[in-house]
Structure formats: C-alpha cells, structure tokens
Structure 1
C-alpha cells in the first residue's frame, strides 16, 4: 500500500479511537438519564471497554505480525464502526455495556496495527514525521472531542455521538481489506497460552485499579497470572514477547517513560479538575478554557519533536520533555491566577506531546519489521495502563478531603523520575542529518503484491 495512504489510515484510525473516548465522557450523564442507568452501570461503559482493549493489545499486535497489519486494521475498523452504530440504537444500558466490550476487542485489533503499518511502510530513519503527524492528530481529537460531543449531546442527543465515526471506520476498513498490502516478512508462531496469561493479568490489574474497592481476588489473580506468564515466556522458543523487543534496553526504557508520562498527565488532569472547580471556584466552561493551552501545545509539540529527534536525538529530547512535564505539573499545583494556570497547562502539553512522539519513535524504530505489531501493542498497552495508574494514585492521595496539592506534587515527582530511564534511549544518529541513502539502519519498504 502507498505510504501516504498508510499514514492517512493510521492517523484516522488513531483519531477515531481517541475521539470515541473523549466524547463518551461527555455523553455519559445524558446516557444515564435516558436509559435509567445506575452510576455503576455507566462506569462500566468505560471500564468494560478499557479491560477488553488493554488485555488484548499485545496479542492483537502479534496477530498483525503473522497475518498482516492492514488486514487486522481493516477488521478492527469495520468492527469498531459496526459496534458504534449498534451503541447508537441500543435499547438499554446492558446492550451499551456489552457492545462497548466488543468494541474494545476491535479497538485492540486496530490500535497496534496503526503503528505496525507505519513501521512496514517507512524506513526507520523516516518514521519521525509520520509518528509526529499521528500524535498531533490525536491531540486535535482530544481537544475537539469534548467540545463537539457537548454540542451534539445538547442538540440531537447522545446517540448521535456514536454515529460520527461509523462512516470513516467502515470506509477505511473496507479499503484496508480490499487494497493491496505488503506480505508479512515471516510466518510467526502464536503463543496462545502466553496470550491468555497476559490477557488475564492485564484484565485483572485494570479491574483492580479502575473499580475499587473491588474484590481482592482480582489483584491476587493479576500477581499469580503475571508470575506464571513470566515463567512461561522464559521457557518458550517462540514467546509472545520476542527477545528482540522486550530485551532491548531502549524499548523497555521508552515504554517506562510512556507509562510514567501518561500516568502523570492523566493523574494531574484528574486532580487539576478538582483544583480548578473546587479550590479555585471555576465553572466547567472556564476550566475548559484555562486548560486549552494543553491541547494546543501538545499539537504543536508533535512536529517540533520530529525536528528535535533529528538534531538532538531521542535521549536528550525525551529526558528534557519529561522535565518540562514535571515543571508544568508542579506549576499547576501552586498556581491560582489565570495566566499562571495557562502556562502550567502549556508546559504539561508541550512536555507530554514531545515525550509521546520521542518514546513511540524509539519503540517502533527499534523493533524489527516482523515484531512491529508486538511493539505497537506494547506501546498502546503502556498508554492505556499509565492513565489508569495515574488516576488511581491521584484518587488515593486526594482522599476524602479533595485536596489536589499532594497528588500533583507526587505526580510531578513521578514525571521527573521518568527522566531516569531516558538515559538508556539512543542518542543523536549522525546518519540522520547527512544520510544520502547510505544509512545501515535504513530498511527497504516491503514489496507490494
């Protein structure tokens, strides 16, 4: 498939998933009233999706390595669009919860594929810009989603929100399945027992974090199955997590930075909402206006990061960005005037947007083409687990008093600690500035059928 079309598909797929998550948050109160649902049932419209997607991302990436990322992307997009249409006409909240779980399965299929397709279509030394474009588009979706979703909920109603992504998902899914796509570089074996153990571990871990106080067996099961998964992987000749991916210090460090950055961001936004609307007395609309610099700087940081990666390398870029993220959260914890609040959110957006591009670039670039799906699945898993951990930590630290100061200080320290794994990231690549096509790291675009 043409690299430009591949990039377009990757961007739209990532945007659809990001947009869906942001508009759902806005639509939930109206959905609850319309369907007569309890608060716990409404929570499960998000929790069910999150558990499904987080538990299957890595295995879905491995399926893409075996059967082709475009094929998995097409199936994921068609299923995601179809379930969105089903939610729009759901007669009750039970149907919404069930369809959201199914939508999570299809979301898990398409998300790693959006990165796997880029790895297969672009040489490693040209991945910076496609990943930056993808990240900027996610930032735009995160900024536009709540505004557009709120307008639709206030007008036609919450059901229309779920119809927005149906047409683009079905069209792109059909094109991906009918178009010519590159062959997988090699036939990889599927580690089904390992996939089951990892899915159980992540599902129980996410449930224990997002649904407290849940039954104690969920956390215990996560520990037991996690230990069994590690033992199983060490004994397998063809493990679910290939040694060339999980054994790379650069990849492991980049994943750690993604978890730390996304945890710090989501936890800070959660605590920051209580700070703005509680201690500072701002209404939801003014709170949204004050936080707009976050989305704006995240969008601007993505293309800027592509330049920084070429000139300074991933190590300096990512560690500096984590420090900026930490400074932004610390500033937010001490700010009260509007200009300082806007500055804090701008620093948070610039730091997070840069880290996301730099760390994702390392994960995707360092992985072999035959393991690109697993690498993409790990990246997406980190981006799903981080927010869960961050919000859980912020909730625990705030306690019943709702004081946002302590959690923001801890989350700033977490972001600063994220600079430590950044030392293992690769430095500046001399070939990136003067490569004339002779870089040893350059791989050819796979032949198309």
Structure 2
C-alpha cells in the first residue's frame, strides 16, 4: 500500500496524489502572498498615486478602505461558497478576478476608477483568501496539515513585511501602476492551473447550510457607513452627513446582531457573537492591525510629501518594522507556551503602544 493510500485510508477520504498536493500548496501559498503583498505595496505607492491622479487625501484613503470593507464584508460568506462549490473552483475564479481587477487599476484614468476597481478587487480577494486555506484542508490529512498551514502563514508574514520594500523599488523605477501589474501574471498562471487540474472528489465541495446574504449585506452597510464617517471627520468635522453615517452604522450593526441571532445559518455564529473571549481577541487584533497599517499609511505620506523622500527611501525607513514582525513571530509562539494568551497579548499591545 502506498503512502498516499495509507494516509487516505487513515483519514477515510479518497486518495490525493502527491503532485496534486504540491500544486495545491504552491497555489495556496502564492495566492495568499499576492493578497498580503497588495496591501503594503500600495501603501508606499499612495503618495505618488495621489499626485499623479490629482486626488484628495480622503480619496486616497478610500483606495485602501474600499478594498478592506469589501473583503471584511464577504470573507465568511466566501468561505461558505467554497464549502458548497469546492475551494479550488472558488480559488480559481477569485485569483483570475483579482488579477483582472489589478490590471484594470493599473490602467485606470482617474482615482474614481481606482476606488471602484478596488471594490471589485476586494470581492475577488474575499473569494481567494479562505479558499487558499480550504484547499489545504481538502488536500492534506489532519495529521499532515500543520506544515502546509505554517508555510502559508510564514509566507504571508514575509510578504507583508517585504511589501514596503517591493513597493518602494517598483514605484521609484516604474511608477505606482507597476504595483498592480505585479499581480497579473502570477494570478493568471495560478487561476488557469486551478481550472485545468481536476480536484479529487473530497475537494469538490458538498451541500452546506444556507448562504446568509442578508447578514453579509448588513455587515457591508455597517462597515461602509462607519468608515465613511471616520474618513470624513478630519477634513470636514462633524457634519450632518457624518452624524447620519454613525446612525446608519449603528442601525445596521444592531440589525445585524438581531438577524444573526435568529438566522438558521448565520454568517457569524452566536457562539462568537456572545463570547467575551472571542470579542476581546478580535478587538485586540483589529486595534493592533489598525495601528500598524495606519502608521504605515500616515508615515508614507509624511516621509514623501513633507520630508521629500522618494518611495525607495521611504520603504527602507519602514523596513525595520517588517523585519521585527518576522523575528517576533517565533518569539510570540514561545511566549504563548510559557505565559499563555492573555499576558502575551497584553505585552504585545503595550510594546505596540510604546
């Protein structure tokens, strides 16, 4: 009996060939990397984009927030689609769409087109991200899943850390549009390979619960209204539009919680909504991510627009932060084992604040 057959029998699933597993691992890692790289690369390019397209600071903010809102609204929903139709198929369409949207942004004539196409890119990014993990779960048995997931996670960390440096080189040498054209060829290759290779029966999806489209729509409205208000306050102060935005965000958020508690197949499980531990963990994660990405966003404009640095020098100034993220990851794993989650998270938050 071959090794593949033994693993399949132990997991009570049809055999998955070694070449298919290797292709799945490569697609999963590269797909996650281009999404992670896209965010930090763009941050370095935004000051140049703003000058080239004569955009306002708020419009440049929306080139990031429009994408993030779309991904956040659809991420769980996209995971359900992968469960139903097969993660490899969802990955293929997600990565092809992501590449096509990237090409469109690279050719965009104005900032309005960039923002609109970033929304489109966010839709496909939401399809892509959970599918990269779902494909690994379908291709590898549980006792061999740790290494592929760890490799994917490490690659995401390296890509996010290297993004500013890659962005600085591309923008300095080729202009801001190059950071989007960077995605096109890898996305096309990965998408066509995912469509061409037939997935094993175990990875083709299965009937699951209903798709909570109403929950996804309410989440999108709440996030869009809240972020629209927060983006507008620095430039215009507390206007009627800002107050209405907060009211809409609050009403949509309340409706979302009520709907999720009653829905037969909720987008957000009640156990998550009602868990103080999950809420605290998500709060720390969101706050830390906002602090790091916000500092990089503001720092890029300060270094380039105020201090006159070029994108490459800006990326070198930002590089130590990315390097420390990579070095800190194994250290955090050691601290988690010795201290536990709460002291480790508190220490990390205090260091970030300092």
User: What is the TM-score normalised by the length of structure 1?
Assistant: 0.62
Choose from 202, 209, 213 the match for 1:192.
213
Alpha-carbon displacement from aligned partner over 1:222-263 (angstroms, at most 9, x marks no partner): 111111122222222222234576567775564344224324
Counterparts in 2 of 1:266 and 1:41: CA distance versus 1, 3 Å: closer
Q: Report if aligned partners of 1:136, 1:300 keep a CA contact under 8 Å in 2.
A: no
Q: Is the 8 A contact 1:78 1:173 kept in 2?
A: yes
**C-alpha displacement at 1:127, in angstroms?**
4.8
The gaps in structure 1 that reach 5 residues or longer are 334-449
Q: Which runs of 4+ in 1 moved over 6 A?
A: 247-250, 270-277, 281-287, 306-309
Contact 1:133-1:302 within 8 A present in 2 as well: no
Q: Give the alignment partner of residue 204 of structure 1, picking from 206, 218, 225.
A: 225
**Partner residue in 2 for 1:396:** none
Paired residue for 1:414?
A: none
**Structure 1 residues 268-417: aligned runs within 5 Å:** 289=316, 292-302=319-329, 312=337, 316-330=339-353, 333=354
For residue 232 of structure 1, the aligned residue among 243, 250, 259 is 259
Match of 1:262 among 289, 297, 301: 289
Deviations 1:308-366 (A, max 9, x none): 77xx38xx453343244234235xx4xxxxxxxxxxxxxxxxxxxxxxxxxxxxxxxxx
Residues of 2 paired with 1:225 and 1:19: CA distance? 32
Task: Mark the runs of 5 or more structure 2 residues left unpaired by the alignment.
Answer: 1-15
* Counterpart-to-counterpart distance in 2, 1:49 and 1:242: 24
DSSP-derived class of the 2:264 partner: coil
Distance 1:119 1:185, change over 3 A: same
User: Which residue does the alignment assign to 2:166?
Assistant: 148
The change in CA–CA distance for 1:317 and 1:138 in structure 2 (over 3 A counts) is farther
More helix per residue? 2
| TM-score after normalising by structure 2 | 0.77
Change (3 A) 1:327 1:201: closer
Shift of 1:208: 2.8
In structure 2, C-alpha distance between the alignment counterparts of 1:127 and 1:249, rounded to whole Å? 29
What does 1:86-165 align with in structure 2 at a 5 Å threshold?
A: 86-123=104-141, 127-165=145-183
What is the aligned length? 324
Distance 1:328 1:79 in 2: 39
Residue of structure 2 equivalent to 1:176: 194
